[in-house]
Amino acid sequence: MKMQLAEIARALEIEPHASWDDITVTNVSFDSRKITAGALFIPLMGENDGHQYVEAAKKNGAVATLWQADHGNEPVDLPRLRVADSLKALQKLGHYYLQKINPRVVAITGSNGKTTTKDMTAAVLSTRFHVQKTPANFNNEIGVPITCLTMEPNTEVLVVELGMDRKGQLELLSQLVEPDAAVITMIGEAHIEFFGSRDKIADAKMEITHGLKEDGFFIYNGDEPLLTTRAAENSNQQLTFGLQETNDLQAQNIVGHESSTEFEVASYPGLKFSIPMLGTYNVNNALAALSVGQIFRVDPASMQHALRDLRVTENRAEWVQGSKGEKILSDVYNSNPTAAKKVIEAFSQIKTDGQRIIVLGDMLELGEASPAMHAGLAEVIDPAQISSVYLCGDLMENLADSLQNKFAPEHLHHYGVADKELLARDLSAELTGNDIVMIKGSHGIALEKVLAQLTNS
């Protein structure tokens, strides 16, 4: 980003001062601690009022600041752009800069797999175009305009991740970026506490099409009936992906390994694809990326190489080695029923000379359906594949009850959230160097403490 402050003022419909033509803005930031030289500071209203950090932003190199009009004590020694709402002004500026650079835009959302699909899509498109993508998980009302404003001037395609935790949020973000392609990876139970049902989650996810260009493509998981029924009411060009033959891109002959998955695609005979991660659910994410590549006319062999050599922003499911030599699949930062089932299914198929052991923590934000959803995990936990189960949290008592008829007491363990140290000690006593362990739970349960004890880190 590089704009004169006068141009920024005009973009926000503010009459610029004559001197602002001489002030160059090279970046924007809402965190005064991360300000660098040439920044426009965006003071936002959150738990803290960002306006109180303007002086710190100036000391760190800010050359100008937005200033919400309902605040007094305006700074007198720093150029300020007076706006009605600093967040809306940030969004307006992000939209302006996006239109100025004018890349094609791919917007991606979904209950699971957004970040992985974003990385896969960016990798596929980078074989042909100059691509920018959402950094980390900057996928909300603040992060999306910041993503737009960090684009390099030669950006040809912007791959942007859009998050959602309430109705109307995706509509705002979609209209902000006006995508040429909109992707929905899947419909799960994430944030179901706030929506009440998967149907309502699907309705909210479809908001990603509200800003989709008239000649844009809607790409979605065709194995999900909640999406196929809603897609029938959408007039955009469409592509579907999934495991069923009815999809435009269908995965076949999936073979899972400890740290990778191979598959073929019916549309690309003779090509074998590989991704450096486990699970059929990640194959679906790859199919979404291939669908985008197809409409952008990327060569299939180039897409094959891009997926094989993929580097992801944040591979939350990662293998680490325990202190006894056991291999641990750590996925301790997020969990919901759909994601947990898919990881358990993938883990259950991994070859091992020892035992497969799973550690599961409470899944949060599931609302009234939470007890049934925890109990429902029992359907994918097979004693023929899983030797022992360790559960942590009050909600996991529902799963413990469901598994009592499947597992002997010595192979089914339940602990309170405060008893993670005991859980780790009991688990460690059972482990050998040949075993593999899966640990998954919502971040609020802090199963990383169990992981730390098992790895002595």
Strands 80-83 and 157-161: unpaired
CATH of domain 318-455: 3.90.190.20
- Tell me which amino acid residue 357 is: I
Q: List alpha helices for 85-166, DSSP H.
A: 86-101, 114-125, 143-149
Q: Give me the pLDDT at residue 110, please.
A: 94
Multiple choice CATH, 3-86, 3.30.1360.200, 1.10.10.10, 3.40.1390.10, 3.40.50.720: 3.40.1390.10
Interatomic CA distance for residues 203 and 140, integer angstroms: 18
Tallying the residues shown for the chain, one arrives at 457
- Single out the residue of 237, 205, 252, 196 nearest to residue 224, CA to CA: 205
240 marked as binding residue: no
116 marked as binding residue: yes
Cα-Cα end-to-end distance for the chain = 41
Interatomic CA distance for residues 365 and 320, integer angstroms: 28
Q: Give me the pLDDT at residue 343, please.
A: 93
Return the ∠ at Cα 382 (arms to 347 and 434), rounded to 5°.
50
354 marked as binding residue: no
Query: How is residue 138 written in tokens?
Result: 């900057």
Sign of the dihedral defined by the CA atoms of residues 85, 88, 94, 98, in that order: negative
111 marked as binding residue: yes
Contact (Cβ atoms closer than 8 angstroms) between residue 152 and residue 2: no
229 marked as binding residue: no
Question: Which residues of the chain, if any, have pLDDT below 70?
Answer: 191, 193, 313-316, 457
Phi, psi of 428 (to 5 degrees): -60, -35
- Single out the residue of 396, 393, 355, 352 nearest to residue 378, CA to CA: 396
Interatomic CA distance for residues 310 and 120, integer angstroms: 7
- Single out the residue of 46, 48, 8, 43 nearest to residue 25, CA to CA: 8
Q: Where in the chain is the domain with CATH 3.40.1190.10?
A: 103-308
Query: How is residue 21 written in tokens?
Result: 């033509």
Residue with tokens 């169990």: 450
Return the ∠ at Cα 250 (arms to 249 and 252), rounded to 5°.
145
Quick one: CA torsion of 219, 223, 227, 233, rounded to 10 degrees?
80
Q: Give me the pLDDT at residue 261, please.
A: 94
Taking only Cα atoms into account, the Rg of the chain, rounded to an integer number of angstroms, comes to 24
Interatomic CA distance for residues 137 and 114, integer angstroms: 9
Extended strands (E) in 156-277: 157-161, 181-184, 217-221, 237-242, 249-256, 261-265, 272-275
Contact (Cβ atoms closer than 8 angstroms) between residue 138 and residue 110: no
86 marked as binding residue: no
* Residue 221: strand, helix, or coil: strand
112 marked as binding residue: yes
Interatomic CA distance for residues 418 and 448, integer angstroms: 13
CB atoms within 10 A of CB 389: 23
* Residue 134: strand, helix, or coil: coil
pTM of the model: 0.90
Q: Where in the chain is the domain with CATH 3.40.1390.10?
A: 3-86
Q: Where in the chain is the domain with CATH 3.90.190.20?
A: 318-455
H or E, element range at 72: none
Q: Give me the pLDDT at residue 176, please.
A: 98
Multiple choice CATH, 103-308, 3.40.1190.10, 1.10.8.60, 3.40.190.10, 2.60.40.2240: 3.40.1190.10
Interatomic CA distance for residues 43 and 90, integer angstroms: 10
Q: Give me the pLDDT at residue 316, please.
A: 65
- Single out the residue of 229, 252, 232, 257 nearest to residue 242, CA to CA: 252
Query: How is residue 32 written in tokens?
Result: 């005064």
Return the ∠ at Cα 216 (arms to 177 and 151), rounded to 5°.
35
Query: How is residue 162 written in tokens?
Result: 């859009």
Interatomic CA distance for residues 7 and 97, integer angstroms: 10
